[in-house]
Structures are given as C-alpha cells and as structure tokens.
C-alpha cells in the first residue's frame, strides 16, 4: 500500500469518526410513567420494541467508533501492518478498505466468520429419514 493510499484511508477514517461523533445516541424513553397507564394495549410492546432498537443502534455505533479508532491507531503506529488481514495476514483489497476503511479481515476470512449467506432451502419430508 502506498503512502498516498494510506493518507486517503486516514482521511476517510477521520471523516467517519467525525460523522459518528455528530450522531446523538438514541433516547431510551421509559415504557410508561406509572402502573396506572393502560390506555393502549399495543403501546407497551411497541415501546419495548423501540427501546430494543435504540439500544441496539447505540451499541452498534459504539462498536463502529471503537473499530475506527483502532484502525486509526494502527495506521499511525504500524502503517506497514495496516491493511493486512488479522486472520491470514494477507493484504485486504484496496476496494474493500475504501468501502470499509476499518475492515480487520479480508473478504474470505470475513465470509468464514459470518457463515454462509443467501437463500436457505426448506427441508423436505425426505430430509428427515
């Protein structure tokens, strides 16, 4: 990887970190303020679902920010190792790094970690013999 490519990736990482810093954490509002509130039976499950979504979003944003910071640190302290897969130590493609500048794994290792994707086939009766 050239120094110009590293600089381009550093710029992308810094921009991403700034964008993440501008996003406010989703608010986790209480489901209800008192036990007497039972106006709508659909409101409780909806509120719980919204809280779960907000909590998941907050965790995901924190995880991405941590990975971006880790990538920036590696880029600054170990520039020769930046862009190498942490599993197989092969170079991560520049196309992948431009898309996900904080990628830690190459496509092959990431697919191995994530498992198979795509449509799952339904089992037929003959599959249970």
Report if residue 122 sits inside a domain: no
Judge whether 16 lies within some domain. yes
Digit-coded pLDDT (tens) for 12-34: 999 988 887 776 665 655 555 55
* Number of domains into which the chain is organized: 1
Provide the CATH number for the domain around residue 21.
1.20.120.910
User: Which residues are registered as beta bridge partners of 91?
Assistant: 84
Is residue 128 domain-resident? no
pTM above 0.85, yes or no: no
In a domain, 86, yes or no: yes
**For residue 95, what are the contacts with CB-CB under 8 A and spacing of at least 6?**
none
Domain for residue 71, yes or no? yes
Q: Which domain holds residue 87?
A: 3-28+44-116
Answer yes or no: is pLDDT of 90 > 50: yes
Please report, for residues 13, 104, 117, 120, 123, the alpha-carbon distance to residue 87 in angstroms, rounded to integers and kept in the order given: 22, 8, 20, 28, 34
The answer to whether residue 39 is domain-embedded is no
Q: Are 27 and 54 in contact (CB under 8 A)?
A: yes
What are the CA-CA distances from residue 13 to residues 6, 29, 34, 43, 65 (Å)? 10, 32, 45, 40, 10
């Amino acid at each position: 990887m050239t120094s110009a490519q590293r600089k381009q990736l550093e710029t992308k990482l810094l921009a991403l970190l700034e964008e993440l810093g501008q996003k406010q954490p989703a608010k986790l509002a209480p489901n209800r303020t008192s036990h007497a509130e039972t106006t709508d039976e659909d409101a409780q499950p909806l509120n719980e679902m919204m809280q779960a979504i907000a909590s998941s979003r907050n965790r995901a944003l924190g995880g991405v920010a941590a990975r971006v910071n880790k990538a920036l640190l590696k880029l600054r302290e170990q520039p020769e190792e930046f862009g190498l897969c942490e599993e197989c130590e092969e170079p991560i493609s520049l196309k992948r790094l431009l898309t996900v500048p904080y990628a830690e794994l190459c496509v092959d290792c990431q697919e191995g970690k994530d498992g198979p994707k795509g449509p799952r086939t339904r089992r037929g009766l003959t599959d249970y013999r």
